[in-house]
Structure formats: C-alpha cells, structure tokens
Amino acid sequence: MSSAPCTNVRVPAKVNLFLAVRGIRDDGYHELVTIFQSVAITDQLTLRIEGRSELLNHPAGGRRTELSLAHDAGSGVPTGPDNLIVRAAQLLADARGIRMELVHEHDPVVGVRTRLELAKRIPVAGGMAGGSADAAAALVGLNELWDLGIPRSELRDMAAELGADVPFTVMGGTALATGTGTGFARVLCRGAFHWVVCAAEEELSTPAVYKAWDDYCSPSEVEPDAVLAAVAGGDPEALGAALHNDLQPAAEVLLPRLAADRKALLDAGALGAVVSGSGPTIVGLAADAQEAQRIARRVAGRFPRVLITTSPSGGPVVQRC
C-alpha cells in the first residue's frame, strides 16, 4: 500500500435516457436495452490511510488493513458488509491478497486502517445509480490509495460482480448497454443537456420495481434509434420527445402519483420528463440552462428536493487531498 494519506473521489450519478425491457432471461435476470448518461450530480468519497507510521510502508502493513465506513446518508444506508462500498473494497482486497477487517469508525486503530467517508448528494434509492456510483468511487479510489495499479478498464470488468450499473459508473459518459446492463459500448454525444432532477420523499427498491414489471407489464420492442440520433446531434427537443423507460409504468403502479409528477414537469415547460431507472426520481429535460432554472422554480413546491444539473459528465475524478 501507498503511504499517501488521503484521496478524494467525486463520482457522478446516471440517468437512463432509454430503457427497454425485452423480457426475462433463462438466468432470471431481465434482458435490457438501455442508454446510460452520467450527470453532474456527484457523491464524494474521501479515503485515508491511518495508523502507526512505521507500519504504513512495512510489507506486512501493505497486506493487511482495517476498513471503516462513515456517511451522511441517514440511518437507512448501512455501513456494514451489505454496503456496496464495503463490497467493492472487499473485492479489491481479495483480488490483490490484502487481508481486510471491517471495523466501526470509532474503534481504536490497530496497525493500519483505511478510513472511508462518504458525502452523499445523489438521491438514495432514487434510480440514479447512487449506490453503484459509490461502489465505483471505492474501486477507483482504493486502487489509487492502495497503489494497486489496476487499469480503469480492468476495474470496469471487476465491477460487474457488484451490480449491473457499476461498470458504467466506473467509466461515465454516454453508453448503450444490452443484456443485464453490464456490457456496454460508448455512444457519441455532442453538446450538453440541461436537466431538472426531482427527488421523491419515498424510496423504491429496484427488485420491487422489476417485480411490478413482471406482474403488470409486457416485453417491449421499442428501439433506441431516436435517442441515439438526438444525443449525436445535440438536439434537446428531439431527445425530450424520445425519452423512454419501460420501468416507468411499473414504478407508477407502486407510486401512482409519479404520473402526475411527470405531468407537472411537462406543464412547467420540460421538453420531456421520465422516471429515472427504477425510480422514483423524475428527470425533466430543459431547452437550456435558463429554462432549467425557470422549470425548477415552478415545481419547487411539489418535490422535497429539486436539483439542476447537466449531462454528460465523465467518470470518477480522483484527487489527492
């Protein structure tokens, strides 16, 4: 491990500009065609190595570490082994033969500790891959902090073990994904798009939304061509008209008011409005930055949290503290 004391990683959220569910695969997962785009709403993960200075560069210190995680995301987000950040750290540790012991942040340091602190801005359980983004931040940040030297492309491949959205959040940008979403190809995107992001008070679990799709929806044959043309041409009007999400009806079964919320965004001037991923966050596309500000003011009283952002964004950005 490196003796570098601190690394910061800023990692962006994503929206699904297009999501079609083709059906259920033999392995039980859903066959998808989706277009991901990263947006400039970011979480920040701060990673530090602490402990007795004589151990930080000692060979034994480099093969063993405690790990603790703290965050400001509320009591509903775990800090134990179920957290995707911790799972990402364990994946890297196992891959490189590092013995990792998960401890509480207030436990006294014994030997060497990797301390992780998450500042959360991406909506929790909101359909914007916040947990996946944080896992990507852990992979990229620990690769730097622990001086592992793993190429970003290899981290992307490893990320598939953590979840469908994690490989994309390791890379960022705009991508067309098929299958379960873990395999993707870069997509040409010209210009910037302006979004009004409306978070809900409630949370929706991805498995519950897919279960609702199984119960109430049918496979779709809608193709992503219109979205691909719109992003390639940098055309917000065309993109607004082409936004599509097959999981949206399923999310609206679980939270019926989402349909009215989308209409409110359209009535406020959005070129298009769609549930992001499995929801319940709704994103509205604006013609430009000024119009995004106006739309946000018009709907501010309807949602507990309204954010203005742009896309596309890049992947995780790593900086030394």
Annotated active-site positions, please?
A: 14, 165
Rounded to an integer, what distance in angstroms lies between the CA atom of residue 38 and that of residue 44? 15
73 SS3 class: coil
User: Binding-site residues for ATP, please?
Assistant: 123-133
HEC string for 220-241: CCCCCHHHHHHHHHCCHHHHHH
Instruction: Specify whether the CB–CB gap between 27 and 86 falls below 8 A.
Output: no
Please state, in angstroms and rounded to a whole number, the distance separating the CA atoms of residues 233 and 146: 41
Amino acid identity at 109 = V
**What residue numbers does the annotated binding site cover?**
123-133
Give the integer Cα–Cα distance in Å for 242 and 307: 22
DSSP states of 29-94? PEEEEEEEEEEEEEEEEEEEEEE-HHHHTSTTGGGEEEEEEEESS-TTS--STTSHHHHHHHHHHH
Contact 41, 120 (CB under 8 A): no
